[in-house]
């Protein structure tokens, strides 16, 4: 297996799928309020994707090797949940931070993106972690261009995050994406500059760092999906789907309003 180089026609379809995924994150923002359940957010996003966008929510029944099929249409990871939080009847409360991760399938191609949302007023520490994780993602994105190495991305993210006293989750990484949800390569969010695969124009992959306020260690909950920090420290994540170009990168999952009401657009 190798890393696919997308054709111009495939890239155009990835632009459409990516933009639609970003638009779901815009759509759901005003609903992320104290008292809403993550099941309600899941249903709203599901219906928007299916009825308004004509998309398939990729997580629903997704069952990569060894996993039970994922039961919902989005991932909702609250506070110390790192990723793959499964929506439930639990109500969000003021002060929570929550990552909503959306993956659309349109015309056979995937778009994958996630953001952090504040529920009511966040603590200073929670807000800082969300903002710095957003910056960490952009430090990674800015490394992308034909001729750069995958290790450049991980190195940029790791040095920035660890320089602030945060830690980088190791067990989950960015991924190639296209007709399949998860393709080669694995995009680590830590590593050494100048190492790893050399990037070529037409590659498409996600960058989605998970940054913990405490230690990097994680564990999986009994639902077989939700990942939490072992030390219960807060964790944040942002994700974009990125096309490698000759001169740099194109972010395929930008929508109109990446700067959320409470979240300044930093770069």
Check residue 75 for interaction with ligand MF3 (CB under 6 A). yes
Q: Are 220 and 170 in contact (CB under 8 A)?
A: no
Residue 149 binds which of ligand MF3, Co ion, none (CB < 5-8 A, kind-dependent)? none
- Specify the residue, 167 or 226, whose C-beta has the smaller distance to ligand MF3: 226
Distance from C-alpha of 243 to C-alpha of 125, rounded to nearest angstrom? 33
Picked from Co ion, ligand MF3, none, the partner binding residue 62 (CB below 5 to 8 A depending on kind) is ligand MF3
CB atoms within 10 A of CB 123: 12
Nearer to ligand MF3, 172 or 249 (CB): 172
**Which of 224, 248 has the CB closer to ligand MF3?**
224
Residue closer to ligand MF3 (CB basis): 6 or 110: 110
- Cβ at position 54, least distance to Co ion in Å: 20
Task: Give which of Co ion, ligand MF3, none residue 59 binds (C-beta under 5 to 8 Å, depending on kind).
Answer: ligand MF3
Between 23 and 62, how does the x/- string for binding to ligand MF3 read (CB under 6 A)? Answer: ------------------------------------x--x
Each residue 102-131 as x (binds Co ion by CB under 5 A) or -, in order, gives: ----------x-------------------
Query: Any contact of residue 101 with Co ion (CB under 5 A)?
Result: yes
Q: What is the rounded radius of gyration, in angstroms, for the C-alpha atoms of the chain? A: 17
| Residue 84 touches ligand MF3, criterion: CB under 6 A | yes
Length of the chain: 267
- Cβ at position 101, least distance to ligand MF3 in Å: 4
Tell me the number of residues near Co ion by CB under 5 A: 4
For the purposes of burial, counting CB atoms within 10 Å of the CB of 222, is it exposed (0-12), middle (13-18) or buried (19 or more)? exposed
């Amino acid at each position: 297996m190798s890393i696919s180089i997308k054709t111009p026609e495939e890239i155009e379809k990835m632009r459409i799928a990516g933009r639609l995924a970003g638009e779901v994150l815009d759509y759901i923002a005003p609903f992320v309020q104290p008292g809403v359940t993550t099941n309600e957010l899941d249903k709203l996003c599901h219906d928007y994707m299916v009825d308004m966008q004509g998309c398939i929510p990729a997580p629903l029944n997704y069952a990569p090797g060894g996993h039970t099929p994922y039961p919902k249409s989005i991932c909702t990871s609250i506070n110390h949940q790192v990723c793959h939080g499964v929506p439930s009847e639990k109500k969000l409360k003021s002060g929570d931070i929550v990552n909503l991760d959306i993956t659309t399938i349109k015309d056979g191609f995937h778009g994958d993106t996630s953001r952090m949302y504040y529920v009511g007023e966040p603590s200073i520490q929670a807000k800082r972690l969300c903002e710095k994780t957003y910056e960490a993602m952009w430090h990674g994105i800015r490394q992308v261009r034909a001729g750069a190495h995958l290790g450049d991305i991980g190195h940029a993210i790791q040095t920035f995050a660890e320089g602030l006293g945060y830690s980088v989750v190791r067990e989950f990484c960015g991924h190639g994406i296209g007709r399949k949800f998860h393709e080669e390569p694995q995009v680590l969010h830590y590593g050494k500059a100048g190492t790893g695969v050399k990037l070529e124009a037409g590659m498409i992959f996600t960058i989605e760092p998970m940054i913990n306020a405490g230690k990097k260690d994680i564990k999986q909950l009994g639902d077989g999906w939700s990942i939490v920090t072992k030390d219960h420290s807060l964790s944040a994540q942002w994700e974009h789907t990125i096309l490698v170009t000759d001169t740099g990168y194109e972010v395929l999952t930008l929508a109109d309003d990446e700067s959320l009401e409470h979240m300044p657009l930093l770069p």
